[in-house]
């Protein structure tokens, strides 16, 4: 009996020592403190995303997030001065998650990439409707829909979409009166509007998602890259022929 009690006591002591190790380690000054602060911020952001996933972003409170991470509400203010800052961090967390989703949709063809990311976003919206609602329409959604952000956008999904649109525009034979910048901008507005609106209809139960419809709709949206959407009138066929003839004459003179 004594042997069993002694072994139990030794095991308990070893367990206590093991859990005591992190606090017993020497502090490394500011760098260690910064890392702990960063880790806590990351945990708080992830907890915010979990709460949004479960019950929607309007239900988020600093107290609920603090409780989920086992810290006091006053301690929250050391990391986030208000709910707006917390939502910004939650958007960054969502950026990483949806960025990984977009990366998995990358294909050699930009059209295939856009089709695939659209399909994955709709599937994600069906599984996590509150998260996509927050990402697209939440209080920090201005980060997720910047028309002129380009491929260097901070929000990873946004950067992916801009990058694929850029590749698509480069691969299209644009009309002479259609600039690549204008085509890219119009295409982004059309594509983003459709994805946001369609995902909202699907998650609300208004429509049932059909892959064939999504592909046909996206194909129609993508055709806007070569459409005439500016206020400037395109040249008439006669003007185009005249311009081509003049260009041919210039080439002949150079020879």
Tens digit of each residue's pLDDT, the chain (255 residues): 444 444 444 444 443 433 333 333 333 444 455 666 678 899 999 999 999 999 999 999 999 999 999 999 899 889 999 999 999 999 989 988 999 999 999 999 999 999 999 999 999 999 999 999 999 888 877 767 777 777 777 888 888 999 999 999 998 888 887 888 988 999 999 998 999 999 999 999 999 999 999 999 999 998 887 776 555 555 566 656 676 676 565 555 555
Q: What angle do CA 104, 107, 110 make, to 5 degrees?
A: 120
- Whether the CA torsion 39, 99, 153, 51 is positive or negative: it is negative
Q: What angle do CA 36, 130, 162 make, to 5 degrees?
A: 80
**What pLDDT sits at residue 90?**
93
Q: What angle do CA 49, 53, 54 make, to 5 degrees?
A: 120
**What pLDDT sits at residue 175?**
82
What residues contact residue 62 under an 8 Å CB cut-off, 6+ apart? 73, 76, 77, 80, 83, 86
**Helix, strand or coil for residue 104?**
coil
**How far is it, in rounded angstroms, from Cα 174 to Cα 119?**
27
Cα dihedral 138, 111, 107, 198, rounded to 10, equals 30
**How far is it, in rounded angstroms, from Cα 116 to Cα 249?**
46
What is the token pair recorded at 10? 């030794």
**How far is it, in rounded angstroms, from Cα 183 to Cα 80?**
40
Query: Are 147 and 188 in contact, with CB atoms under 8 Å apart?
Result: yes
Which of 91, 195, 187 minimizes the C-alpha distance to 143? 91
Which of 127, 134, 29, 147 minimizes the C-alpha distance to 90? 134
**How far is it, in rounded angstroms, from Cα 241 to Cα 220?**
29
Does the pTM surpass 0.85? The reply is no
């Amino acid at each position: 009996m004594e042997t069993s009690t002694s072994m139990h006591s030794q095991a308990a002591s070893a367990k206590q020592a093991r859990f005591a190790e992190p606090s017993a380690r020497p502090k490394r000054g500011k760098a260690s403190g910064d890392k702990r602060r960063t880790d806590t911020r990351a945990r708080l952001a992830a907890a915010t995303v979990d709460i949004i996933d479960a019950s929607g972003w309007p239900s988020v409170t600093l107290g609920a997030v603090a409780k989920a991470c086992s810290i006091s509400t006053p301690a929250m203010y050391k990391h986030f001065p208000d709910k707006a800052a917390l939502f910004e961090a939650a958007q960054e967390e969502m950026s990483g998650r949806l960025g990984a989703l977009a990366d998995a949709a990358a294909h050699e063809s930009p059209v295939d990439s856009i089709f695939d990311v659209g399909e994955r976003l709709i599937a994600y919206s069906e599984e996590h409707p509150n998260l996509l609602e927050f990402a697209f329409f939440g209080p920090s959604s201005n980060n997720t829909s910047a028309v002129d952000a380009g491929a260097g956008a901070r929000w990873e999904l946004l950067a992916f979409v801009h990058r694929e649109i850029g590749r698509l525009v480069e691969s299209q034979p644009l009309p002479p009166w259609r600039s690549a910048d204008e085509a890219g901008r119009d295409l982004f507005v059309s594509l983003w509007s459709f994805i946001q609106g369609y995902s909202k209809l699907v998650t609300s139960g208004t429509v049932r998602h059909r892959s064939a419809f999504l592909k046909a709709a996206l194909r129609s949206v993508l055709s806007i890259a070569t459409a005439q959407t500016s206020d400037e009138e395109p040249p008439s066929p006669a003007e185009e022929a005249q311009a081509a003839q003049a260009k041919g004459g210039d080439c002949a003179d150079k020879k």
